[in-house]
A and B are shown apart, each in its own frame.
Chain A
Amino acid sequence: MPVNWQQYEAAGLWDELVAPSGRARPGAGPLLRVLSRLTDEELSERAAAAELAIRTMGITFTVYDTGEPGGIDREWPFDIVPRLIRKREWDAIAQGLAQRVRALNAFIDDIYHHQRILRDGVVPAAYIEKSREFRPRCVGIDPPHGVWSHVCGTDLVRDRDGALYVLEDNLRVPSGVSYMLENRAVMKRVFPELFKDYIIHPVDDYPQRLAACLRSLAPEGNDSPQIVVLTPGIYNSAYFEHAYLAQAMGAEVVEGADLRVGADDCVYMKTIAGRVRVDVIYRRIDDLFLDPKAFRPDSVLGVPGLLRAWQAGNVALANAPGCGVADDKVIYTYVPDMVRYYLGEEPLLANVPSYRCVEKADRDYVLDNLDKLVVKPANESGGYGMLIGPQASKRQRNAFARAVRANPRKYMAQPMLSLSTAPTLAGAPGSPDRMQPRHLDLRPFILSGAETHVTMGGLTRVAMKKGSTVVNSSQGGGSKDTWIVDLPG
């Protein structure tokens, strides 16, 4: 039975492709037509082809908590229906993202130097003093171009009225960009005919942009710097991506044990020809594991003396240690103020309205309205440790209320958004509702070095379970290809 878009129901939600009337949103027409021309079997065949492509291409991520030692490799979950954004709308979003990351980098640089924004009372100093991510050892360091977060992944969501919000900025070691690239490759294999109907802006220049960004960080006087990607190893959930990006950039993937800091405070890697100087490290391990001499002494992933080499300016680290001070769900609430403070501009992108539990009025409101709010810990990622009030039990809410009272600095809260949806192949073959709305978000990536670059679109993550808004792949989320399109004609 072919898809009948008149019967597609996304009641009360904003759907990215289908308007409430059942008609296509601007630009989505050709896509919906192609999909509704396919028979039930053909849809299943395309989904199977995508699955096969993903399996043979070895696109995987690692899941823990399965009882298997070291976690297990899962094939990347992918939905064959792409998500569309018009180029004109995207250009405005990209500008807003670049503006936001400029302000965030200015903030981090300020925090590790004069702390003007604290002294001017725009952001309370107590937040920084108590931040788990503030690194005293980074005070006074001048990374190239004043940039600390070179690769930022900012999560965007749309509410039921179609309004776009920034949900959070991942400034430390955001992942997902390789899946953005692979999703496009899979889509080309599975739906080649769609690429005739649309002018879809390519995404595959990302590795070269990243390489250029990293090169611009190299210590001066080196025309062809040695770039490496530092990974915790093959059992890390994002190892696939580390290897993928390194290959695409022509860089080495290294583990901590491959690197040594010499007596000259320079970083070297061990090769079959002896030691070779390293100029730029795109590190994909957390700050605290980078250097057992500077941070956690039990880290076996890091390189002893690395921080010293970085402080001496002999090696660039991307992202810079300490940049997580701005990657905090409470600090997030101040980003619009940062844009005004550092750039003297009005923010182009809006935050989700947020409540700071450390402020009494906000906290009282949060405690009185736990059943309507999403409460998030300041320093977690991957969707862990959150309370989704409307879906939680009374006991869970009470436990969170106690936690908020005990440690208000650690929490912020936001109203429950109704994330926008897109049609997703979720129904059983033969059923009238094979295409069902599923909630999604979008993670574009912003590169900052000598220049700033925003990806064309980003990684669309989709909650594959009906009604769920949790899109993290570690918790059952999937993904879609994201198309930035010029409208035909």
Chain B
Amino acid sequence: MKHSLLSRVAERIYWLGRYMERADNTARLINVNTNMLMDLPTPRPLGWRPLIDITGSEALFDSLYKEANERNVCRFLTSDARHPSAITCAISAARENARTVRETMPGPTFEYVNDLHLFARSELRPNLSRGKRGAALEGINSRVQRLEGFLSQNMMHDAQWQLLRLGNRIERADMTTRIIDVRSADLLPPGHDLAPFQEIQWRSVLGSLNARQSYQAAIGAPISRSLVLEFLLREPGLPRSCAYCLTAMRRHIRSLPRHEAPLRACDRTAAFFASVDLGALDRESLHRFLDECQMRLGQLHEAVTETWFRVASG
């Protein structure tokens, strides 16, 4: 029996890829932030607020909580049912997507997603101690990795696979720009001698992306702002760099039918990412640049949606 991928199924697979990546990145982000704060001098009033900015959910957070302290931010990002991008919600959404397309995925896929869901539901409770929270978040990471590993080794590398990966890579590129954006802002109140802590911040950026060893191996130089920016945005060999993600997206898009519009959007986005001299950007212009990057990724997402998920009737 010949197979043709339904637009509705395609869309759900794409979102499955996005939600899995979102849960994974958010978990990693919280753990890296916890570690970084332990290395910074007190007081550190802005310690947890940046995570809210990363996820672009300032308005929602402020409507629900008074204070951006560790407890509130972690609850909001891990298990607050009122926050659609909280880890438990992203995983529920991934599960719902996987459930609606389970017939099209290799047999145990849903079991893995379901296991992830059950784990998140039972382990990510509000008000966890740092130790328990860290272990639970690592548990999320390892389960997402297991799922990804399983899929890459067992799923047919067909159109569904390309869409799963496309969603995954768009989410990842977006998250990488957000992590850089927030970490490039000052975490410390004025008056501190920032120099030694700048390095801690940039090291934590690398840590958020599991890229410390890769940085040392590939760059070999001490950690500096411009080198880290260059590395995370443009290193073709680093799987979490924007350049790597964009190259992969291009490949996925090209393998799908009727890909002209998304391919154009992808090429435009990649050209924009490559268009500026990163070293010359001050903090403000870097922020504007990253903002624009996220907008371009949003346009690419729109092109994908228009082309493959909203097929004209007829």
Complex contact A251–B6 (CB within 8 A): no
- CB of B96 within 8 A of CB of A234, answer yes
Within 8 Å by CB of B110, from A58, A227, A255, lies A58
Evaluate whether A258 and B8 lie within 8 angstroms (CB atoms) in the complex, with A251-B1, A272-B258, A273-B258 already known: yes
Distance in angstroms from A317 CB to nearest chain B CB is 18
B2 within 8 Å of A (CB atoms): yes
Specify the chain A residue showing the minimal Cβ separation from B111: A56
Q: Does residue A270 face the partner (Cβ distance < 8 Å to B)?
A: yes
C-alpha spacing A396/B102, complex, angstroms: 44
24 contacts between A and B (CB under 8 A): A56-B114, A58-B102, A58-B111, A234-B96, A234-B100, A243-B99, A243-B102, A246-B103, A247-B103, A249-B1, A250-B1, A252-B6, A255-B8, A260-B313, A269-B4, A270-B6, A270-B7, A270-B311, A271-B4, A271-B7, A272-B308, A274-B257, A274-B258, A276-B4
Chain A window 259-270, contacts with chain B (Cβ cutoff 8 Å), 1 for yes, 0 for no? 010100000011
- B1 close to A258 (CB less than 8 A): no
- Asked if A226 meets B1 with Cβ closer than 8 Å, knowing A56-B111, A58-B110, A272-B7, the reply is yes
Q: Is residue B223 within 8 Å, beta carbon to beta carbon, of the partner chain? A: no
Do A227 and B103 touch across chains, with their CB atoms under 8 A apart?
A: no
Interface bracket on B: 20 to 34
How many angstroms from the CA of A101 to the CA of B146 in the assembled complex? 48
- A254 pairs with B6, CB closer than 8 A: yes
Choice from A227, A255, A262, A272 contacting B311 with Cβ under 8 Å: A272
Whether A271 pairs with B2 at a CB distance below 8 angstroms is no
Additional 16 contacts, C-beta under 8 A, given A211-B1, A271-B6, A272-B5: A55-B114, A56-B115, A58-B99, A58-B102, A58-B110, A58-B114, A225-B1, A243-B103, A246-B103, A247-B102, A252-B6, A258-B6, A260-B313, A270-B311, A271-B5, A272-B308
Q: Which residues of B contact A (CB under 8 A)?
A: 1-10, 96, 99-100, 102-104, 110-111, 114-115, 118, 159, 163, 256-258, 308, 311, 313-314
Which chain A residue has the least Cβ–Cβ distance from B7? A270
Q: Is the CB of A57 within 8 A of B7?
A: no
CB distance from B18 to the nearest CB of A (A): 17
Indicate if A257 sits at the interface (CB-CB under 8 A): yes
Q: How far is the CB of B91 from chain A (nearest CB, A)?
A: 14
Determine whether the beta carbon of B1 is less than 8 Å from that of A274: no
Give the complex CA separation of A257 and B7 in angstroms: 10
Interface of chain B, main secondary structure: helix
Select one of B2, B5, B163 contacting A224, CB under 8 A: B2
Are A272 and B2 in contact, CB atoms less than 8 angstroms apart? no
A234 neighbours in B (Cβ, 8 Å): 96, 99-100
CB distance from B107 to the nearest CB of A (A): 8
Does A244 reach chain B (CB closer than 8 Å)? yes
Query: Which listed residue, B10, B103, B256, B258, touches A244 by the CB 8 Å rule?
Result: B103
Q: A57-B111, A224-B1 are in contact. Are A258 and B7 (CB under 8 A)?
A: yes
Once bound together, how far apart are the Cα atoms of A463 and B110, in whole Å? 29
Task: Give the residue among B2, B102, B115 with the most A Cβ atoms within 10 A.
Answer: B102
Inside 8 A of B256's CB, which chain A residues have their CB? Answer: 272
Flag if B6 contacts A260 (CB, 8 Å). no
Q: Residue of A at shortest CB range from B115?
A: A56
Contact partners of B163 in chain A: CB under 8 A:
272
Q: Which residues of B contact A260 (CB under 8 A)?
A: 313-314
Closest to A259 in B: B6
Q: B310: nearest residue on chain A (CB-CB)?
A: A270
The yes or no answer to A152 lying at the interface (CB within 8 A) is no
Cβ distance A52 to chain B, nearest Cβ, rounded Å? 11
Which of chain B's residues has its CB closest to A246's CB? Answer: B103
Q: Which residues of A contact B100 (CB under 8 A)?
A: 234, 243
Q: Are A274 and B6 in contact (CB under 8 A)?
A: no
Complex: chain B residue closest to A244, CB-CB: B103
A residues near B7, Cβ cutoff 8 Å:
258, 270-272
Check if B1 sits within 8 Å of A227, measured CB to CB.
yes
User: Shortest Cβ distance from B121 into chain A, in angstroms?
Assistant: 12
- In the complex, what residues of B have CB within 8 A of residue A243's CB? 99-100, 102-103
- Say yes or no: A271 contacts B311, CB within 8 Å: yes
